[in-house]
Chain A
Amino acid sequence: MADQFYLENIDEFVTDQNKIVTYKWLSYTLGVHVNQAKQMLYDYVERKRKENSGAQLHVTYLVSGSLLQNGHSCHKVAVVREDELEAVKSKLAVTASIHVYSIQKAMLKDSGPLFNTDYDILKSNLQNCSKFSAIQCAAAVPRAPAESLSSRKFDQSDLPASSETQASELTTNGHGPPASKQVSQQPKGIMGMLVSKAATKPQETNKETKPEAKEITNASSAGGKAPGKANTMSNFFGKAAMNKLKVNLDSEQPVKEEKLVEQPPVSVTEPKLAAPTGLKKSSKKAEPVKTQQKEKKGGKRVELSDDEAKETENMKKKRRRIKLPESDSSEDEVFPDSPETYEAESPSPPPPVFSPPDPLPKELPPIKSSSGESKRKRRRVLKSKTFVDEEGCIVTEKVYESESCTDSEEELKMKTSSVHRPPATAVKKEPREERKGPKKGTAALGRANRQVSITGFFQKK
């Protein structure tokens, strides 16, 4: 039933929306098996060509087969434009498979947008990325984070060794020997590249069909690290004998990567090596940030206890339970004193700006949950306590005391403090508001609730 409309769907995507429709993207979008998606694309192309309608279509194909180069036989997988298809096909000794890779209206100058297209849809379907895939592996199951961390270290040390053995086996396409050097020297760089290039591997081999001059320029240019690496990877995984890779695959630790399952076998090792890195990349960045913040909190906690040594045991116990928001507020106390260090952080953001989205949310949920609990049951309130001290003087002291309360205003303010904000600035700022919030909250509680929000507004400066 749904099949009947696929032609119209594809037509809409390609012609109206000017999208790049890859078979992978189509399979996720329409919820069909990849083979069916390939067939659909082929069908669409055939029909459109027959109709001879005005709209020009550009089609890319995935070609794979065995190739004889310098006496070595290797398996080649390439994404080629239509005009290069025949040329590439003729080079192959045995053509194992050809199918439509993508359809788009625009002539693509390079393979980047193809990867781009698949990236987002794959990311949003990460949990079931092999659902429509022709490649399945029962052993590929999600792994516990602790396991994957340790295996990542293992893989990193493993990579130079395996890459060297692989590189020696590589047949030429002019990039073999330098590629191997690059591979062994920069395993981390490659790991990083592998993460993002996992899906571009087939497309990277497309570079061969492009003018070689460009590749040589790229490889030799000073800034040619990146394309050099890309070529390295394409050589590494595209050219190397698949069998050898498969053997390595079996011998390496099982990886928490469903993603790799749906890639062609050649690229299996690649995401496998990459996946722990990729997945852990964000968490690795998370960890330094986390530890930093934890250290900060530890430091501030010490300060707190020094400053408010007169607090009762009761307070301390309660403090432990809600220590995360409290330490946030203490960080926040520091904030006005050191605005400059604060601002110095923000210019450094661009890499951290994009990496902390993961770390901070990981951290904030605990805050959220603890404050979520506390906001229902009790609340820290600044109260004046009058008592007689040892000298017989009457002393009035303002202390924070927990008070059970279900003030919605309070909850709101607590909520705001737990919402994620990109830089550390955010985390510091919100606790300040939260801390002042309770103060004003109690004061205004007696009055109408509306006034609380007005004072809240002034607080925010």
Chain B
Amino acid sequence: MTTLTRQDLNFGQVVADVLCEFLEVAVHLILYVREVYPVGIFQKRKKYNVPVQIFTDDIIKAQRNSVICPRPHSPLMSNDSAETSAYMSCHPELNQYIQDTLHCVKPLLEKNDVEKVVVVILDKEHRPVEKFVFEITQPPLLSISSDSLLSHVEQLLRAFILKISVCDAVLDHNPPGCTFTVLVHTREAATRNMEKIQVIKDFPWILADEQDVHMHDPRLIPLKTMTSDILKMQLYVEERAHKSS
């Protein structure tokens, strides 16, 4: 089996690209499924051979918090040859926000500095109601043993998308007027690099407030786990026990 080290940045870039693409789709899908924004602004696009939902062109105010919006290089929105369809937003500001966030996360992913990426849904009082936690682990020595590595990864990511689509069944309804934010939990040294990135990309990141991070009396609902040669990811939802208070 071939083993690579983290030094092989090219491969790290590939993994980061894959992850950022996936996270973009996942964030849009979470916003769609949990009805954070009206469903009318979402549009079906293709990703991983299955339908997903993306925001469409409508006027919506995007909340800009201490979240990172990545902009993956992948032309997700315009890539008609990508297979799966996803519901993605068409609202330019929101898309830009999400893309900028993930764009800043990508360097962290490349260096495997990211512990988890959390999509937090906040209620009107800015207290977290739900947290979709993507725990990401990249093995330090990437061992590639299979020819169909990427199609396998694609399949696994497809399963994630499917699971997010049906998470309604296990989650309570959110109160109206929710907003969202994205938090990134990094390993120690990463924040120093973040400052450099912020300056370059003109998209400020701040340390998250305690109130954004801490959820009172959470309930844990695991959704999906995947293991592959290049990536291990786990998705679970932390839900506040009493949502409308």
Chain A residues proximal to chain B, CB less than 8 Å: 18-20, 104-113, 115-117, 119-120, 189, 192-193, 195-197, 200, 213-214, 217-218, 221-227, 230, 281, 342-343, 346-351, 353-354, 356-358, 360-361, 364, 416, 419-423, 425-426, 429-430, 433, 460-461
Which residues of the other chain, A, contact B53 by a CB distance below 8 angstroms? 110, 112
Which residues of the other chain, B, contact A422 by a CB distance below 8 angstroms? 11, 14, 144, 149-150
Query: Is the Cβ of A350 less than 8 Å from the Cβ of B44?
Result: no
Within 8 A of A (CB), among B202-236: none
Per-residue A-contact encoding for B117-132, CB less than 8 Å = 1, 0 else: 0000000000000000
Query: Is the Cβ of A226 less than 8 Å from the Cβ of B45?
Result: yes
The one of A217, A343, A419 in contact with B2, judged by C-beta atoms closer than 8 angstroms, is: A419
The one of A115, A222, A224, A426 in contact with B144, judged by C-beta atoms closer than 8 angstroms, is: A426
Which residue of chain A lies nearest to B72 when distances are taken between CB atoms in the complex? A350
Which residue of chain B lies nearest to A429 when distances are taken between CB atoms in the complex? B8
Chain A interface mostly: helix
Which residues of the other chain, A, contact B45 by a CB distance below 8 angstroms? 226
Query: Is the Cβ of B2 less than 8 Å from the Cβ of A110?
Result: no
Query: Is the Cβ of B85 less than 8 Å from the Cβ of A106?
Result: no
Which residues of the other chain, A, contact B83 by a CB distance below 8 angstroms? 195-196, 354
Given the interface contacts A120-B158, A357-B148, A361-B148, does A223 sit within 8 Å of B14 by beta carbon? no
CB distance from B38 to the nearest CB of A (A): 10
Contact of B197 with A by CB under 8 A = no
Query: Is the Cβ of B52 less than 8 Å from the Cβ of A106?
Result: no
Contact of B65 with A by CB under 8 A = no
Given the interface contacts A117-B162, A120-B158, A361-B148, does A200 sit within 8 Å of B43 by beta carbon? no
Query: Is the Cβ of B49 less than 8 Å from the Cβ of A20?
Result: no
Which residues of the other chain, B, contact A353 by a CB distance below 8 angstroms? 14, 17-18, 150
Query: Is the Cβ of B155 less than 8 Å from the Cβ of A214?
Result: no
Given the interface contacts A106-B169, A196-B84, A226-B85, does A346 sit within 8 Å of B10 by beta carbon? yes
A414 and B73 alpha carbons, distance in the complex (Å) = 34
Per-residue A-contact encoding for B34-58, CB less than 8 Å = 1, 0 else: 0000011001111001111100110
The one of A120, A196, A346, A429 in contact with B13, judged by C-beta atoms closer than 8 angstroms, is: A346
Given the interface contacts A221-B43, A360-B147, does A106 sit within 8 Å of B74 by beta carbon? no
Query: Is the Cβ of A357 less than 8 Å from the Cβ of B151?
Result: yes
A106 and B8 alpha carbons, distance in the complex (Å) = 43
A386 and B48 alpha carbons, distance in the complex (Å) = 59
A363 and B83 alpha carbons, distance in the complex (Å) = 23
Query: Is the Cβ of A115 less than 8 Å from the Cβ of B150?
Result: no
The one of A120, A217, A360 in contact with B40, judged by C-beta atoms closer than 8 angstroms, is: A217
Query: Is the Cβ of B73 less than 8 Å from the Cβ of A347?
Result: yes
A429 and B2 alpha carbons, distance in the complex (Å) = 10
CB distance from A422 to the nearest CB of B (A): 5
The one of A112, A225, A425 in contact with B80, judged by C-beta atoms closer than 8 angstroms, is: A225
Which residue of chain A lies nearest to B161 when distances are taken between CB atoms in the complex? A116
Q: Which of B43, B79, B90 has the most CB of A within 10 A?
A: B43
The one of A113, A189, A192, A346 in contact with B166, judged by C-beta atoms closer than 8 angstroms, is: A113
Q: How many residues of B contact A (CB 8 A)?
A: 64
CB distance from B45 to the nearest CB of A (A): 6
Query: Is the Cβ of A110 less than 8 Å from the Cβ of B44?
Result: yes
Which residues of the other chain, A, contact B161 by a CB distance below 8 angstroms? 116
Which residues of the other chain, B, contact A346 by a CB distance below 8 angstroms? 10, 13-14
Query: Is the Cβ of B56 less than 8 Å from the Cβ of A461?
Result: no
CB distance from A277 to the nearest CB of B (A): 11
Query: Is the Cβ of A200 less than 8 Å from the Cβ of B72?
Result: no
A343 and B17 alpha carbons, distance in the complex (Å) = 13
Given the interface contacts A213-B40, A425-B10, does A354 sit within 8 Å of B147 by beta carbon? no
Contact of B146 with A by CB under 8 A = yes
Which residues of the other chain, A, contact B190 by a CB distance below 8 angstroms? none
Given the interface contacts A116-B158, A354-B151, does A226 sit within 8 Å of B167 by beta carbon? no
Query: Is the Cβ of B17 less than 8 Å from the Cβ of A230?
Result: no
CB distance from B134 to the nearest CB of A (A): 19
The one of B18, B50, B73, B146 in contact with A116, judged by C-beta atoms closer than 8 angstroms, is: B50
Which residues of the other chain, B, contact A106 by a CB distance below 8 angstroms? 165-170
A442 and B80 alpha carbons, distance in the complex (Å) = 51
The one of A117, A193, A223, A351 in contact with B43, judged by C-beta atoms closer than 8 angstroms, is: A223
Query: Is the Cβ of A104 less than 8 Å from the Cβ of B147?
Result: no
Which residue of chain A lies nearest to B73 when distances are taken between CB atoms in the complex? A347
Query: Is the Cβ of B165 less than 8 Å from the Cβ of A116?
Result: yes
Per-residue A-contact encoding for B149-177, CB less than 8 Å = 1, 0 else: 11100110011011001111110000000
Which residues of the other chain, A, contact B10 by a CB distance below 8 angstroms? 342-343, 346, 423, 425
Which residues of the other chain, B, contact A197 by a CB distance below 8 angstroms? 85
Q: Which of B11, B76, B85 has the most CB of A within 10 A?
A: B85
Which residues of the other chain, B, contact A349 by a CB distance below 8 angstroms? 13-14, 17
A428 and B163 alpha carbons, distance in the complex (Å) = 37
Q: List 21 A-B contacts (CB under 8 A).
A: A19-B166, A107-B168, A112-B53, A116-B50, A116-B162, A192-B80, A197-B85, A213-B40, A214-B39, A218-B56, A221-B43, A221-B56, A222-B57, A227-B43, A342-B10, A347-B73, A353-B17, A357-B148, A420-B149, A421-B11, A422-B149
